[in-house]
Amino acid sequence: MKHLWVCRLMLVLVLLLSGSERAESKKYLRCELTRVLVENYNFDKTFLSNWICLVEHESYLDTTKITLNKNDSKNYGLFQINSKDYCAEGRKGGQCNMKCEDFSNDDIGDDIACARMIQEREGFKYWKGWDRFCRNPQNLPNLRVACNLRSLSPLRTPRSFFYVSG
Ligand SMILES: *[C@@H]1O[C@H](CO)[C@@H](O)[C@H](O)[C@H]1NC(C)=O
């Protein structure tokens, strides 16, 4: 009787652990990310194809991607944010005052906040993936055609985006 109870408990634990692991990682599809960026994060449609192109070449749309660089720094997450400038490892830090490890889970709200700050300060050229593959507008995906961009609009009023942290 007691043995059975322990078995059930272990089964529940295993299910919980595997469930949370699944929720931690996410690989987006192009149009899925396009929709999320417009609807949930109020991205300007004018530059959206630059963002999508950038993310496709930096992380292949994988929220868990971590890249080790030759100079010992690492790039984290969807936007491959670098641990030597905009975030810090193991603690909050860098110019975004954020923890790099937080950029490699499936919560992309913090990644986006930091990526927007980087883009405002340095432009898209901060990202080598953008510089190499997306600088020429002819290489940008046509989201209007591919993802029906025109039909998408933000789900909330712009004001409420201000309060969204994650
Ligand atoms: C380290 O290398 C990465 C990737 O090449 C680069 O983005 C970053 O700016 C470099 N950091 C420093 C401090 O040299």
The enclosing domain of 53 has a CATH number of: 1.10.530.10
Which atom of ligand 1 has the smallest separation from the CA of 84?
Answer: 13
- Is 72 a pocket residue for ligand 1 (Cβ < 6 Å)? no
Structural domain including 144 reads: 23-155
Scanning the structure block, which residue is given the tokens 């660089």? 69
Give the distance from CA 165 to its chain's centroid: 14
Q: Which residues share a beta bridge with 68?
A: 74
Q: How many domains does the chain have?
A: 1
User: Is residue 136 domain-resident?
Assistant: yes
Model pLDDT for residues 35-87, shown as the tens digit of each residue: 999 999 999 999 999 999 999 999 999 999 999 999 999 999 999 999 999 99
For residue 124, is it within any domain?
yes
Amino acid identity of residue 78, one-letter, is L
For residue 71, report the distance from its CA to the centre of ligand 1, in Å.
6
High-pLDDT (> 70) share of the chain, %: 87
- Domain membership of residue 50 (yes or no) is yes
Predicted confidence at residue 166, as pLDDT, reads: 44
Residue 19 is predicted with a pLDDT of 54
131 lines ligand 1 (CB under 6 A): no
Which protein residue has the closest C-alpha to ligand 1 atom 11? Answer: 84
Nearest-CA residue for atom 5 of ligand 1 = 69
Give a yes or no: residue 8 inside a domain. Answer: no
Is residue 164 assigned to a domain?
no
